[in-house]
Amino acid sequence: MSLFERLAQIKQQREATAAGGPAPVASKVSSLRAEPERSPLLPASSLGGRECTAAGGCFCLREKKLKQSLQVPFSDTLIYRNLRLIWGIGPVTEARLKDQGIAVISELVCHPRFGADARQVLNLIERRQAAELRRRGATDAELLGLFSPEEIVFLDIETTGLWASQPLFLVGILTTREQEAVLGQLLARHYREERALLAYLAQALQQTKVMITFNGKRFDWPYIIDHNKLAAA
């Protein structure tokens, strides 16, 4: 029995108790199992999608190719102009260096004071070490320029509540395939489809390097992680 079936069972037991006495657990379980037969799921085709199988289950997947391609709006050279990524260089020192004609980090590799760390920063950029570059003060725009559109995913989720124990019924992802932007909607029509949806989402995210969300650090991503744990229990 899934977590959500158990929650539904508890709710029905409480309602039965309030109505005059608890109903047998067996009858409730039987009722829950019979529910799909009384209320069949809408075919994915009627929702503009297709049946998608993952982790031994299925869910409704709707995909649409957008007319415009997903263009990364930031240059891959932007980060090289941020001299403050080098330890010891602040706004005043950066302004002074630029007045001297030093515009990019590579022009400091032979500097007697900043040369060693300039080479370290260039190495971090070459290896796309976003976490360390972020710690040094790199902005989102500078870091995003290091990745191609195919490595970026836009993600949003829709749930029935703010806690991971509450159902997740829709995930939206925007990716790039063969230079075309593809909008995907992963729809769980029933509690039992969540596990397949989550498995498909995990596989899709493995193919990307950067996730862009709205409030994703505080809600979307923690929710997905915790919900995966509950779904696997």
Average pLDDT, integer, range 128-154: 93
Q: How confident is the model at residue 157 (pLDDT cuts 50, 70, 90)?
A: very high
Ordered alpha helix ranges (H), the chain: 3-18, 25-38, 91-99, 115-126, 130-135, 140-144, 194-206, 221-232
Nearest to 208 by CA among 144, 157, 163, 159: 144
What distances in angstroms separate CA 114 from CA 111, 143, 183, one per listed residue? Answer: 5, 22, 45
Q: How confident is the model at residue 31 (pLDDT cuts 50, 70, 90)?
A: very low
Average pLDDT, integer, range 105-125: 97
pLDDT at 60: 95
pLDDT at 100: 96
Write down the mean pLDDT value for the chain: 85
Q: How far apart are CA 207 and CA 40, in angstroms?
A: 34
Let me know: does 47 contact 59? Beta carbons within 8 Å: no
pLDDT at 104: 97
Let me know: does 108 contact 115? Beta carbons within 8 Å: yes
Q: How far apart are CA 114 and CA 85, in angstroms?
A: 11
Give the rounded percent of residues in the chain with a pLDDT score beyond 70: 83
pTM of the model: 0.73
Residues 186-209 pLDDT 10s: 999 998 899 999 999 999 999 899
Residues 41-53 pLDDT 10s: 889 998 899 999 9
Higher pLDDT, 233 or 92: 92
72 has a pLDDT exceeding 70:
no
